[in-house]
Amino acid sequence: MKNARLTNEQLLVDESLLFVGNGYLGLRGNFEEGYPSHFQTIRGTYINGFYEDVLINYGESAYGFPKTAQKMLNIIDGQTIVIRIDDDEFSLFEGEVLSFDRKLDIWEGYNERNIDWISPKGHHLLIKIRKMTSFEQLELAVIEYAVTSVNYSGNISILSTLDGNVINYADENDPRVSSEQARWLYVDNVGIRDRNFAQVTSVTKQSGLKVTATMGHDIDVEYEVKENIIVAFKHDSIQQGETLTFSKFLVYVDSVRSKESENEGLKILKEAIEKSSQYWFDIQKRHLETFWKVAKIEVDGDASVEEALNYSAYQLYASAGRDAFSNISAKGLSGEGYEGHYFWDTEIYMLPFFILTQPDIAKNLLAFRYQTLDMARDRALMMGHKKGAKIPWRTISGTECSAYFPAGSAQYHINADVAYAYIQYYLFSQDIDFMKQIGYEVILETARIWLEIGHFDDKGQFKIPAVTGPDEYTAIVNNNYYTNSMAKYHMYWVCKLSREFGETDVEWYRKMQKQLIIDEAEIFEMEKAYQHMYLPYSEELGIYWQDDTFKDKADWDFESTPKNKYPLLLHYHPLTIYRYRVLKQADTLLAYFLLDHVSEEIMNRSYDFYERLTTHDSSLSPCVHSIMAAKLHKAEKAYQFFMKTVRLDLDNLHHNTKDGLHIANAGGAYMSIVYGFAGLRIKEDGLHLNPIMPKEWKRICFRIYYQQALITITMAEKLTIETTKPIEVVVNHKAYTIEDEIHLEYEVTSK
For the domain that residue 34 is a member of, what is the CATH number? 2.70.98.40
- Between helix 663-671 and helix 621-631 the angle, nearest 10°, is 10
CA within 13 Å, CB half, 677: 31
Q: What string of H, E and C letters represents the secondary structure of 383-433? A: CCCCCCCCCCCCECCCCCCCCCHHHCCCCCHHHHHHHHHHHHHHHHHCCHH
- Using the 8-state DSSP alphabet, how is residue 208 labeled? -
Residue at 514 is within a domain: no
257 touches 251 (CB < 8 A): no
CB-neighbour burial class of residue 227 (10 A; exposed 0-12, middle 13-18, buried 19+) = exposed
> What CA–CA distance (Å, rounded) separates 47 from 340?
10
Residue at 362 is within a domain: no
- 100: phi then psi, degrees, rounded to nearest 5: -155, 130
Comparing CA positions, the residue from 383, 401, 391 lying closest to residue 452 is 383
Comparing CA positions, the residue from 346, 432, 295 lying closest to residue 667 is 346
Q: What string of H, E and C letters represents the secondary structure of 581-616? A: ECECCCCHHHHHHHHCCCCHHHHHHHHHHHHCCECC
Residue at 244 is within a domain: yes
Q: What is the 3-state composition of the chain as percent helix, strand, coil, each rounded to the nearest 5?
A: 35, 25, 40
Strand order from edge to edge, sheet including 140-149: 96-105, 110-118, 124-133, 140-149, 243-254, 210-217, 197-204, 185-193
Q: What is the CA radius of gyration of the chain?
A: 27
Comparing CA positions, the residue from 164, 193, 155 lying closest to residue 273 is 193
Comparing CA positions, the residue from 26, 124, 546 lying closest to residue 337 is 26
> What CA–CA distance (Å, rounded) separates 481 from 487?
10
Cα distances (angstroms) measured from residue 294 to each of 313, 314, 355: 11, 12, 12
Domain that holds residue 159: 4-261
Residue at 252 is within a domain: yes
31 touches 15 (CB < 8 A): no
Positive or negative, the CA dihedral 652, 312, 684, 693 is positive
Angle at alpha carbon of residue 40, lines to 35 and 44, rounded to 5°: 85
CB-neighbour burial class of residue 573 (10 A; exposed 0-12, middle 13-18, buried 19+) = exposed
> What CA–CA distance (Å, rounded) separates 405 from 63?
12
Residues 6+ apart with CB under 8 A from 355: 362, 421, 424, 425, 428, 429
Kind of pairing between the strands at 243-254 and 210-217: antiparallel
Q: Identity (one letter) of the amino acid at 736?
A: Y
- What pLDDT digit, counting tens, does each position of 440-497 carry? 999 999 999 999 999 999 999 999 999 999 999 999 999 999 999 999 999 999 999 9
Is 618 in a helix, a strand, or coil?
coil
Comparing CA positions, the residue from 14, 12, 13, 43 lying closest to residue 27 is 43
| H-type alpha helices, 157-210 | none
> What CA–CA distance (Å, rounded) separates 502 from 510?
8
Kind of pairing between the strands at 727-731 and 686-689: parallel
Alpha-carbon dihedral angle through residues 581, 583, 586, 591, given to the nearest 10 degrees? -40
Residue at 325 is within a domain: no
> What CA–CA distance (Å, rounded) separates 104 from 115?
15
Which residues are annotated as catalytic?
A: 472
Mean pLDDT per 10-residue section of the chain, whose length is 751 residues: 78 98 98 96 97 92 93 97 96 96 97 98 98 98 98 97 92 58 88 95 96 98 95 96 98 96 98 98 98 98 96 98 95 96 97 98 97 97 96 97 93 98 97 97 98 97 98 97 98 98 96 96 98 97 97 96 95 97 98 97 98 96 98 96 96 94 98 98 94 95 96 95 95 92 71 47
The pLDDT assigned to 1 comes to: 38
CB-neighbour burial class of residue 4 (10 A; exposed 0-12, middle 13-18, buried 19+) = exposed
> What CA–CA distance (Å, rounded) separates 489 from 495?
10
> What CA–CA distance (Å, rounded) separates 675 from 3?
39
The residues that bridge with 213 in the sheet, in sequence order, are 200, 252
223 touches 197 (CB < 8 A): no
Comparing CA positions, the residue from 335, 385, 391, 340 lying closest to residue 366 is 391
Q: What is the pTM of this model?
A: 0.96
Kind of pairing between the strands at 719-723 and 709-715: antiparallel
658 touches 39 (CB < 8 A): no
Residue at 610 is within a domain: no
224 touches 191 (CB < 8 A): no
Residues 6+ apart with CB under 8 A from 507: none
Q: Identity (one letter) of the amino acid at 8?
A: N
Residue at 314 is within a domain: no
The residues that bridge with 398 in the sheet, in sequence order, are none
> What CA–CA distance (Å, rounded) separates 327 from 290?
22
Q: Identity (one letter) of the amino acid at 512?
A: M
How many residues in total does the chain contain? 751
Q: Identity (one letter) of the amino acid at 28?
A: R
The pLDDT assigned to 751 comes to: 47
Q: Identity (one letter) of the amino acid at 160?
A: S
The pLDDT assigned to 740 comes to: 81
Query: Is the bond leading into 567 cis (omega within 30 degrees of zero)?
Result: yes
> What CA–CA distance (Å, rounded) separates 745 from 737?
15
Cα distances (angstroms) measured from residue 148 to each of 34, 104, 131, 494: 20, 22, 18, 65
- Between helix 413-429 and helix 359-371 the angle, nearest 10°, is 140
Is 434 in a helix, a strand, or coil?
helix
- What pLDDT digit, counting tens, does each position of 702-731 carry? 999 999 999 999 999 899 999 999 999 999
541 touches 605 (CB < 8 A): yes
> What CA–CA distance (Å, rounded) separates 330 from 343?
7
| Structural domains counted in the chain | 1
Residue at 510 is within a domain: no
CA within 13 Å, CB half, 434: 19
| H-type alpha helices, 439-587 | 440-453, 481-504, 506-516, 520-531, 574-578
Is 708 in a helix, a strand, or coil?
coil
The pLDDT assigned to 741 comes to: 82
| H-type alpha helices, 181-276 | 261-275
- Between helix 440-453 and helix 359-371 the angle, nearest 10°, is 50
